Amino acid sequence: MADPNTQKRVDELNAGWRNYLRDKMIGLDKNTFQLAQGTLGLQTADSSGLFRMADAVPPISAVGYYDAGTTKSRASAYNLLLSALLPETNPQAMRNALGDTYTAWNTWKAANARTSGETYAAWLDRWAESSGVDPGVVSRAKSAYLTAQTSPLYQAQNALTDPANEQTFTASDLTTFKLKRYTMNVDGARQAINNSSAITIDFSSRTMDSSISSTHFQGAASGFYRIFSAGASGSFDQEDSKAANSDFIIKGSIKTGTLSCGTGAWYSSGEVGRALSMKGNATVWDPGSSAGNWDSFFAQPNGSLARSVSQLILVTDFDLEVTSTAKYSDSEYQKIQAQANFGIWPFFSASASSTHTATTRHSADTSLTTKYKTNPGVIQIWGVSVQQQT
């Protein structure tokens, strides 16, 4: 973690850069536009990058740091929500069938989500096998489910695990993974941005507006306070402090577009609406559930479903030069060249090399300039529009 003064200055730089882009990209709402940094802020050749960003739960800040290992998942939170609710028909049927094992069932299912294609009955069997529950109890539970399976809640749970509502992708190491489907795809992203015109960028931290007045956000940053980053290893504390206390200039051009992102058939807005509107209602919220309650899902600012991504802000064909006007020694320049492989402000990503090129030079006046340029045909995600549950 950088020292507090550096953190504060980087926070201001992030806010100023975010506000500048908001004003340059026509149609962005100052209250809902969130600039994205980090691994998931960069696009992939398929739709997986779009799906992951759409599935991310935005931090409550004007600049969001997105990383595959730490970003909260909307689909995962939604799965827990369904486990915290009672069905609309026969809401006490499962409690009555399970009796003394009802609490154990609720605790187990909150930690063991249904897998893709797994039926409710198979889910109960998996619980029984791992917990040693009496087969007669499980049989009663299956019967209770059958009597209530037409409930919208159980239909929503079945849709969530339906393989048809997932898409399979192949990673760079040729392993496959599945993601919940969202309504957008990479072809739609290309269409959204192909007809856009280039925007000229001429940003200076000396004249930037770093104020954040939106009631949707609390401050400008969500925990990334670096100028130079080596990722998990390496320290740039001295260089960060020097750079943060100098001016930054960003010049060049970009093309931008926006892409609306809706959930696929795995998501039931009806069940979410029922839960949202019935805070504390014991006929809707299961008092015996350990999956969560109204506050853990919907309360601001930390509810896991309190905010969602409604729109992606796309960028392509960018050609930018970022200059730090601080004075750097040859040894500092060599260190930055060798170790800042996770990025230099304002662009950070573990996978940056696959989506854009970055070339840093030590200028004659000893300032530092990094040139960023997208690889041909690559689209990046630079931000989102944040929607709050109301």
Q: Where are the beta strands (DSSP E) in the chain?
A: 33-37, 63-65, 166-170, 176-180, 198-204, 228-229, 248-260, 307-324, 343-344, 347-348, 356-362, 368-374, 379-388
pLDDT computed for residue 277 by the predictor: 97
Q: What is the mean pLDDT of each run of 10 residues along the chain (390 residues)?
A: 80 92 88 86 83 93 82 94 94 93 93 92 94 92 91 96 96 91 94 87 95 74 74 78 94 94 96 96 94 95 94 92 95 91 80 70 94 84 90
Cα torsion 315, 316, 320, 322 to 10°: value is 40
Beta bridge partners of 372: 320, 358
Cα torsion 38, 44, 46, 47 to 10°: value is 20
Note the pLDDT tens digit of each residue in 242-252.
Answer: 999 999 999 99
Separation in Å, CA 12 to CA 7, 92, 121: 9, 53, 54
> What would the two tokens of residue 236 be?
């740039």
Nearest Cα to 66, choosing from 343, 381, 366?
A: 381
- Buried/exposed code over 147-165 (b: 16+ C-beta within 10 A; e: otherwise): ebeebebbebbbbbbeeeb
pTM of the model: 0.89
Note the pLDDT tens digit of each residue in 162-171.
Answer: 999 999 999 8
CA distance 305 to 146: 29
Give the up-direction half-sphere exposure of residue 158: CA atoms within 13 A in the CB hemisphere.
Answer: 14
pLDDT computed for residue 184 by the predictor: 94
Tell me the three state secondary structure of residue 276: helix
Give the up-direction half-sphere exposure of residue 293: CA atoms within 13 A in the CB hemisphere.
Answer: 8
CA distance 256 to 106: 46
Number of other residues whose CB lies within 10 A of the CB of residue 329: 12
pLDDT computed for residue 2 by the predictor: 63
Distance of CA 131 to the CA centre of its chain: 34
CA distance 20 to 217: 17
pLDDT computed for residue 313 by the predictor: 94
Note the pLDDT tens digit of each residue in 278-331.
Answer: 999 999 999 989 999 999 999 988 899 999 999 999 998 889 999 999 999 999
Separation in Å, CA 353 to CA 340, 358, 372, 386: 12, 8, 11, 28
Nearest Cα to 158, choosing from 144, 171, 168, 148?
A: 148
pLDDT computed for residue 386 by the predictor: 94
Give the up-direction half-sphere exposure of residue 236: CA atoms within 13 A in the CB hemisphere.
Answer: 32
Query: If you search the block for the tokens 């730490």, which residue do you land on?
Result: 70
pLDDT computed for residue 347 by the predictor: 85
pLDDT computed for residue 114 by the predictor: 92
